[in-house]
Every structure is written in C-alpha cells, then in structure tokens.
Amino acid sequence: MNDTLFLWINASDPSAAALLLGRILANDLVYLFPLYLVLDWLRADVAGRDALIQATVSAVIAMLLAWIITLIWFHPRPFAIGLGRQYMPHDPTASFPSDHLSYAWAICTGLALHPVRRKAAGLLALIGLPIAWARIYMGVHFPLDMVGALLTALAAAWISLPLRRTLIPTLRKSIEPAYRLVFAWPIRRGWVRA
C-alpha cells in the first residue's frame, strides 16, 4: 500500500514549473514555522509566549524522537530502493519518519496544548499538508513517512505536556530579559510587545 500510494503521488513526467513548485513546497515552506514563532513572539502576551516555547520544546523533542526511531529502525528512501523517480538531491538517510514534518507538526501540536494558539496550530498544520505532498511528489519520502511524522509530533507534544507548568514558564522568564534588551528600541516605540 505504501509503495502504491507513493507511485500514485510521485511525479512521473513533471513540467519545469511543477518541479520548481515541488522544490519550494518540499524544502522552503517549512521555514514558515520558525518564522511564525519569532514574529508571534513580538506581539504575544505571557500565555502566547508560553505556547510558543511549548511549541519549540515539542519540536526539539520530535527531532530527538525521529533520530531515535532512525537508529532503531532504518527504512530506506524510495530512490534508495529504486522505486519511483527522485527530482531533488537527498542523501540516502532513513526516510521514516519525515524530519521536516515531525518538526513542523510538533510545533503545531505544541501550540495546540494552549487554548490561546489552537487556531494558529490548526492553520499551520494545514501548511504541513503541501509539504508532505511535495516530499512524496519529489521522490524523497513515502506516504507512511508522513503518518510517522504526525505520530512523532503527537508523541512529542504529549511528552512536553507535563513541562507546561514548570519548564515552559521558567524558559520564558529566562528569555524575556534578553529579548527586552535586544528589542528595547522597538519596545519603547510600541512596535513590539515588552
């Protein structure tokens, strides 16, 4: 089933425009997630900043979990076993779970733990869908790698949940003085929140 779904989504005779779009979606769209975290920090209140830190902690945990999974179970990428066509360069590292989506969706699941950012979490999670499609379309991932990424992200948020009332506020309180020092001028002008 995984192979069949992969071959159904993987590009067979794409145009140059389709390949360009695939590359942008597969590699560049993921940068919207950390950009959101940084820009939202500039306007967020305490509850919002706690959600942003929770999302960051969840992403770190997800990347650690993904790394552990690849150590325990190495699943080759489609091109490494001669399946389908590969349209962007990639090392033949383990494909399961997708690091890109584990990271992106862990930010979403971490945000979703906080009611003040659940809407943003849902919108960002939708942005993950074209990333998932493109990484399959370009031939570097299987569809089940994306399912694995979602499960990894959910596990990361669950692991980070107990930190919501302990580590997360402590991290925020340690980051805010440096933020206020670096952004003193925009804060004084009212362009960003203190």
Residues 137 and 11: beta-carbon distance below 8 Å: yes
pTM of the predicted structure, to 2 decimals: 0.90
Assign domain 2-176 to a CATH class: mainly alpha
61-89 tens-digit pLDDT: 999 999 999 999 999 999 989 889 999 98
Orientation angle between helical segments 46-72 and 32-41, nearest 10 degrees: 150
Residue 127 CA to residue 21 CA, distance in Å, equals: 14
* Amino acid letter for position 120: A
DSSP 98: -
Residues 156 and 61: beta-carbon distance below 8 Å: yes
Q: What is the mean pLDDT of the chain?
A: 94
Taking the chain (194 residues) in runs of 10, the rounded mean pLDDT of each run is: 89 91 95 96 95 97 97 92 89 93 97 95 96 95 96 98 94 94 91 88
Residue 72 CA to residue 82 CA, distance in Å, equals: 23
Tell me what pLDDT residue 171 has. 95
Nearest to 32 by CA among 110, 97, 127: 127
